[in-house]
A and B are shown apart, each in its own frame.
Chain A
Amino acid sequence: AQTVTQSQPEMSVQEAETVTLSCTYDTSESDYYLFWYKQPPSRQMILVIRQEAYKQQNATENRFSVNFQKAAKSFSLKISDSQLGDAAMYFCAYRRGNNDMRFGAGTRLTVKP
């Protein structure tokens, strides 16, 4: 079974600084998708960024970027110029095919003013 591991239960960053959240996953598949979701206190799950495993180029969305290392099965999220609104739980997720989405346990990010 595929598993997703987020080894950092909590992280903290100073406003305007950069922070990296870690994620590793276990799979024997070669074709899959990886996602980072943000869950603010409102509980709404919001897609931050996604990466197709067949693409070598790392995905970027404004201040959010990933470091995708397929051989190492690592998928870290970098948040640049952190803002107070970035404070939330961040979940890494893995998906193969059109059904099976697996989530990590999450990392709680605190942004200090």
Chain B
Amino acid sequence: NAGVTQTPKFRILKIGQSMTLQCAQDMNHNYMYWYRQDPGMGLKLIYYSVGAGITDKGEVPNGYNVSRSTTEDFPLRLELAAPSQTSVYFCASSYGLAADTQYFGPGTRLTVL
């Protein structure tokens, strides 16, 4: 049982490049989330999904896209990377209820130069 896994751990992008951050969970959780954490700040929700085929915007969705074709995977796509997207990205999952614990992945540190 690996929990929530994220790849890559680190990445440097040039302005205008695109990339996909991968996230997978093996706990059969319905809900999955993408957060970003800027230096010295708390996490902010980018997108979330309540099940395969269903996604919705969070607090800071601009510049990102997501898809959820399976229960296990929830990739985050960055199009036309900008320096403002330099951050640490966390994927999380939960069974579904509001009180449920969110299980977090180890994070991806992304730098856009």
- B-binding residues in A (CB < 8 A): 4, 32-33, 42-47, 50, 52, 91, 93, 95-106
The closest CB in chain A to the CB of B100 belongs to A98
Complex contacts, B92 vs chain A, CB 8 Å:
45
Complex contacts, A91 vs chain B, CB 8 Å:
42-43
A-contact bits for B1-32, CB 8 A (1 contact / 0 none): 00000000000000000000000000000010
Q: Known contacts A99-B48, A105-B42; decide if A44 and B98 are in contact (CB<8 Å).
A: no
B3 nearest CB across to chain A (Å): 10
B37 nearest CB across to chain A (Å): 8
Any A CB within 8 A of the CB of B53: no
In the complex the two chains form, is B98's CB within 8 Å of A33's CB?
yes
Give the bracket for the number of chain B residues in contact with chain A: 20 to 34
Chain A interface, >50% SS class: strand
How many Å lie between the Cα of A101 and that of B45 in the bound state?
Answer: 7
Q: Which chain B residues (82-113) contact chain A, with CB distance < 8 Å?
A: 88, 90, 92, 96-99, 101-102, 104, 106-107
Q: Known contacts A103-B43, A105-B40; decide if A47 and B102 are in contact (CB<8 Å).
A: yes
Complex contacts, A32 vs chain B, CB 8 Å:
98
In the complex the two chains form, is A98's CB within 8 Å of B50's CB?
yes
In the complex the two chains form, is B48's CB within 8 Å of A44's CB?
no
Q: Known contacts A101-B33, A103-B43, A105-B41; decide if A44 and B106 are in contact (CB<8 Å).
A: yes
Any A CB within 8 A of the CB of B44: yes
A102 nearest CB across to chain B (Å): 8
